[in-house]
Amino acid sequence: MTSSVKPLIPDDDADRLAAAFGRRGFMGAGVAGGLMATPLFAAGAAHAQAAGDAEITVDQARTAPIPIVLPSLGSGVAQQITDVISADLGNCGLFRPISASMPQGTPDFGSYKSMGARAAVTGKVVDQGGSLRVEFRLWDVVTGKQVQGTAYTAASQDWRRIAHVIADVIYGRLLGEQGYFNSRIAYIARSGPRARQVTRLAIMDQDGADSRYLTNGQWLTLTPRFNPANSELAFMSYANYRPRVYLFNLNTGQQRLLGDFSGISFAPRFAPDGRSVVLSVTRGSGSDIYTVDLATMARRQITSSGAIDTSPSYSPDGSQIVFNSDRGGSPQLYIMSAAGGDAKRISYGHGHYGSPVWSPRGDLIAFSRIANGSFSLGVMAPDGTGERILTQGFTVESPTFCPNGRVLAFCRQSSAGSNGAGFATGINTIDITGFHERALPAGSASDPTWSPLNK
């Protein structure tokens, strides 16, 4: 999207709010990709202000969602933008949007306070014929000061993206962490009878809007994974009855085979630098983990246990890989250097483990655990300590972290029962504390993968 951003009002008073609301100020809290070019507070003065009672953390907001007055920005597309902002904030569970009429001029903070609000939004949308200019201000109701004022201009068809960027700014300014609303989820759309499901590679906004198919469903297709540049998916396709990993270019729609292996290649994930893909390849009664350099297509084998080694996922610094292996007799989680070598088992709970994925924050590994015929979805520290089960069900698998690591999307499936009629598959999200699980409106779907923030 083409866009320009300029501050409506440079606001020295934002400094005070930055200190009051943020856990560590707001350095680095901007939206990626140049949509929000500069923080609007003056760096330096912020730290002169003591962080007061108003500090709100994500942990606190989980317990008590932040009440925020969000009046309609107008009619038509302006109302649609308002609705998307409200849904982003409300659905993440950390905010409680409050409807109101748009004030003339400065909001009546006294009345907002009496409504229990902590923050308020004002603004308007100007249709410039083909493009939209969205003026947005965020206010601290307690002090009556403006936290941020920004005008976004973008092509009219990109109205959803403007709304997500504004929701991200609100999240970032009030919680001191980068938001994740301006992002997408790729997944597998499923239809047809269970014995022979039609599977299509698909993509949607993180809120489920604007979903579309990327492949036609001719072949069984599984496990899409984003590259860090948000421009390509690695995925598995059974095209021509040869199950292998392919790359799908999201800009051109072109597909290409990744590597030339004699076995089945599957379970791809990009390295954090985007230059290579780690995947597994079947050999004999097991599977080995390889990396494939995307510039040269040179491949390197990094495990050779003879057992099943699969589902590799890099640590965000690229130095380590967590993976799933039954080398010890049952499927468990292991960690090794990204170069291979000795692997250390980290899962020791009851049952089998699988589908590990490393948080973008680096501090957690999410996984599926299977015991007594049912699945759990959990997280643990990379050293295996602190295992917590977030949710359970007949099948809960394929966890994927949102860009700031605060939320997981995953696949939830119900038992088909004795005759198959009970089968349902969908994508849910859940906070990493296990709070606020909800279904995404993706229809019959599986294999979610969350994108990095959109540019």
Of the candidates 25, 75, 83, the residue with the CA atom closest to the CA atom of residue 49: 25
CA-based end-to-end distance of the chain: 8
> By C-beta, is 193 or 341 nearer to other proteins?
193
Write down the least CB distance from residue 264 to other proteins, Å: 6
Please report, for residues 14, 19, 27, 172, 180, the alpha-carbon distance to residue 177 in angstroms, rounded to integers and kept in the order given: 16, 13, 9, 5, 10
CB 220 to other proteins: min, Å: 6
Residue range at the interface with other proteins (CB under 8 A); choices 30-38, 108-116, 200-208, 258-266: 258-266
For the chain, helix, strand, coil in percent to 5 are: 15, 40, 45
Binding of other proteins at residue 416 (CB under 8 A)? yes
In the bound state with other proteins, the residue whose beta carbon lies nearer, of 331 and 452, is: 331
For residue 218, the tally of other CB atoms under 10 A from its CB is 12
Binds other proteins by CB under 8 A, chosen from 305, 415, 433, 444: 415
By the rule CB under 8 A, 220 interacts with other proteins: yes
Phi (first) and psi of residue 79, to 5 degrees: -70, -40
Choose the stretch contacting other proteins; rule: CB under 8 A; options: 60-68, 108-116, 204-212, 351-359: 351-359
Q: Which of 3, 211, 395, 404 binds other proteins (CB under 8 A)?
A: 395
> For residues 381 and 416, which CB has a smaller minimum distance to other proteins in the complex?
416
Residue 367 contacts residue 355 (beta carbons within 8 Å): yes
Task: Please report how close the Cβ of residue 418 comes to other proteins at its closest, in angstroms.
Answer: 5
- Would you say 22 or 243 has its CB closer to other proteins? 243
Q: State the Cα–Cα distance between residues 343 and 287, nearest whole angstrom.
A: 15
Q: Among residues 355 and 454, whose Cβ is nearest to other proteins? A: 355
Question: Binding residues for other proteins, how many (CB under 8 A)?
Answer: 51
* Residue 424 binding other proteins, by CB under 8 A: no
Q: Is the dihedral of CA 212, 214, 218, 219 positive or negative?
A: negative
Residue closer to other proteins, measured from CB, 282 or 433: 282
**Nearer to other proteins (CB atom), residue 122 or residue 311:** 311
**If you ran DSSP here, which 8-state letter would residue 308 be given?**
B
Q: Assess 398 for contact with other proteins (CB under 8 A).
A: yes
The residue from 8, 32, 264, 389 that contacts other proteins (CB under 8 A) is 264
Spatial contact of 419 and 155, defined as CB atoms under 8 Å apart? no
Positions in 134-193 near other proteins (CB under 8 A): 193
Which one of 117-125, 156-164, 196-204, 402-410 is the stretch in contact with other proteins (CB under 8 A)? 196-204
Residue from 168, 447, 448, 454 in contact with other proteins (CB under 8 A): 447
Q: Does 285 bind other proteins (CB under 8 A)?
A: yes
Please give the Cα distance from 337 to 321 (Å, whole number): 6
Window contacting other proteins (CB under 8 A); options: 25-33, 162-170, 208-216, 217-225: 217-225
User: For the chain, how long is the longest CA-to-CA vector?
Assistant: 72
Q: Which residue, chain included where needed, has tokens 């109101």?
A: 100
Judged on CB neighbours under 10 Å (0-12, 13-18, 19+), 229 is: exposed
- Contacts of residue 332, defined as CB under 8 A and 6 or more positions apart, other chains included, come to 324, 325, 326, 345, 347, 352, 353
For the sheet containing 66-69, what is the strand order?
Answer: 3-7, 145-155, 131-140, 119-127, 66-69, 95-98
Specify the residue, 309 or 431, whose C-beta has the smaller distance to other proteins.
309
Chain mean position to CA 445: 17
CB 259 within 8 A of CB 290: yes
Interface mask toward other proteins for 299-338; x: CB under 8 A: ---------x-xx------------x-x---xx-------
What's the min distance (Å) between Cβ of 202 and other proteins?
16
Report the sign of the C-alpha dihedral through residues 92, 32, 410, 219, in that order: positive
Task: Give the three-state DSSP class for 362.
Answer: coil
Among 86, 182, 183, 280, binds other proteins (CB under 8 A): 280
Residue 274 DSSP symbol: S
Name the token pair of 427.
């994508």
User: What are the residues binding other proteins (CB under 8 A)?
Assistant: 193-197, 199, 220, 222-223, 236, 238, 241, 243, 263-264, 266-267, 280, 282, 284-287, 308, 310-311, 324, 326, 330-331, 352, 354-355, 368, 370, 373, 394-395, 397-398, 413, 415-420, 422-423, 446-447
